[in-house]
Amino acid sequence: MGYELMAEKMGVRIHYKRPPHGWWGCWDPDRRHILIHPDLGYIQRRSTAWHELGHAYYEHVGCSPKQELQARTWAARHLIRAQAFIDAARITDDLISIAHRLHVMPEDVRAWEKSLSLEELIHIRKEINGHTD
């Protein structure tokens, strides 16, 4: 699902206008809208939009490290599918290259990897290594 459809489902409006403080995006809980910097490239815009939708999903007000982690993890889980990661990781183990292949930011890949449960991690490692055990 694209982020614009997700925003619609969540009753959130996205405006391509400059957020304050030189940010790439921001979530306004009072107006239930998201501002996305209009000059971002495709990958930056997509990553930013999903991150801000994460804040919207959790109904965040304000900004704390815990909220940032929640939004980052929620975004990564929507941006990256396990099979796409496995396919990319079979070709390269370089974080930047994997991110490039997945059309996400490197920090999205990091957040995704951190969000994995032990079971998921074991499954994914086996898939990448081709069931050698």
Least Å distance, CB 45 to Zn ion, is 15
Question: Which regions of the chain does DSSP assign to beta strands (E)?
Answer: 13-15, 25-28, 33-36
Least Å distance, CB 19 to Zn ion, is 11
Counting residues that bind Zn ion (by CB under 5 A) gives 2
Question: Could you say which residues in the range 63-92 bind Zn ion, by CB under 5 A?
Answer: 68, 71
Count Cβ atoms within 10 A of the Cβ of residue 124 and give its class: 0-12 exposed, 13-18 middle, 19 or more buried: middle
Q: DSSP letter for 22, please.
A: G
x/- site string to Zn ion, residues 26 to 65, per CB under 5 A? ----------------------------------------
- Four-residue CA torsion sign, 29, 52, 36, 64: positive
Q: Which residue, 70 or 97, is less far from Zn ion as judged by CB?
A: 70
